Chains A and B, each alone.
Chain A
Amino acid sequence: MTMKASSRQVDGVMIVDLSGRITLGEGSVVLRDTVKDLSTQGHKKILLNLGNVTYIDSSGIGELVSAFTSIRNAGGDLKLLNLTKKVHDLLQITKLYTVFDILDDEASAVSAFNR
Chain B
Amino acid sequence: MNATRVSYTLDSTLASVNKAEQAAAEVAAKLCFDPDDCGRISMAVREATVNAILHGNRYDPSKRVTISFESTPEALTVAVRDEGEGLDPTTLPNPLAPENLLKQSGRGIFLIQTFMDEIHFRNLSPGNEITMIKFIRAAGHGGNKEDNQ
Identify the A interface with B (CB < 8 A): 23-25, 57-59, 61-63, 65-66, 68-69, 86, 90, 93-96, 99
Interface residues of B, CB < 8 Å — how many? 21
Q: Is the CB–CB distance between A24 and B17 below 8 Å?
A: yes
In the complex, what residues of B have CB within 8 A of residue A59's CB? 50, 105
B interface majority secondary structure:
helix
Q: Cβ of B103: which chain A residues have Cβ within 8 Å of it? A: 62, 65
Binds A, one of B70-78, B81-89, B106-114, B129-137: B106-114
B73 CB, min distance to chain A CBs, angstroms = 29
Interface pair A66/B96, CB less than 8 Å apart: no
B102→A58 contact, CB < 8 A: no
A-B contact pairs, 18 of them (CB 8 A): A23-B46, A24-B17, A25-B17, A58-B107, A59-B105, A62-B104, A63-B104, A65-B103, A66-B104, A68-B102, A69-B102, A86-B39, A90-B111, A93-B111, A94-B96, A94-B110, A96-B101, A99-B101
| Contact partners of B47 in chain A: CB under 8 A | 57-58
Cα distance A66–B50 in the bound complex, in angstroms: 19
